[in-house]
A and B are shown apart, each in its own frame.
Chain A
Amino acid sequence: TQLLEQSPQFLSIQEGENLTVYCNSSSVFSSLQWYRQEPGEGPVLLVTVVTGGEVKKLKRLTFQFGDARKDSSLHITAAQPGDTGLYLCAGVGFVEYGNKLVFGAGTILRVKS
């Protein structure tokens, strides 16, 4: 069982569509990071959210941290083929994991042109 559950596991959409991916846990995070990983590369940080209820925007990407700091979502508006990749959330502050950064399994996104 993953400490961080990401959904959906796979998502294939057409260019121009909107989408939302989710990151959920039964534990509270002190902060949460979102990474994107392209094939053959390592993950690259997109954003860090820290405060419950926080919303951050990065161009067409909107990140939200749940009020209780147990969940987060990533919304992409008008998806582009360049958005294709593996989206990973990583939680910080899990005492049971020694306060280490713990990654979810990820959502594989494919945007077709």
Chain B
Amino acid sequence: DAGVIQSPRHEVTEMGQEVTLRCKPISGHDYLFWYRQTMMRGLELLIYFNNNVPIDDSGMPEDRFSAKMPNASFSTLKIQPSEPRDSAVYFCASSPARNAEAFFGQGTRLTVV
């Protein structure tokens, strides 16, 4: 298996633009997580899905953030409109169980100017 695949690896966008981050989890993993990592706040859980259903989105910072998982092999995290303070590395991770080992993708480095 190729592991968790995220795209794009890098994204630079202007303030106010819509940004969509993509994730393909490991096949057979029932859990998918979206994290945000910054120097100031470390690794924060934004939202997680179980069997394509959002379970806990309490970490989503604002209504500008939304996430979907239309099927077991694809998820998106969308920011609309984007702001400079959204600049961070966004990680997607998948796991066979909620608190089992999390397998992370390589991340998307987002810069909002």
Contacts and interface: CB of A to CB of B under 8 A. Distances in A.
A33 B91 CA distance: 18
Contacts, number: 51
A22 interface: no
Interface residues of B, number: 19
Interface of A: 2, 30-31, 33, 40-45, 48, 88, 90, 92-93, 98-106
A42 B42 contact: no
Interface in B66-113: 91, 93, 98-99, 101-107
Q: Which 9 A-B pairs have the closest CB atoms?
A: A42-B104, A105-B42, A103-B43, A92-B99, A45-B101, A43-B104, A42-B91, A42-B105, A42-B107
Nearest to B42: A105
A106 B98 CA distance: 22
B4 interface: yes
B42 A106 contact: yes
A93 B56 CA distance: 15
A41 B102 contact: no
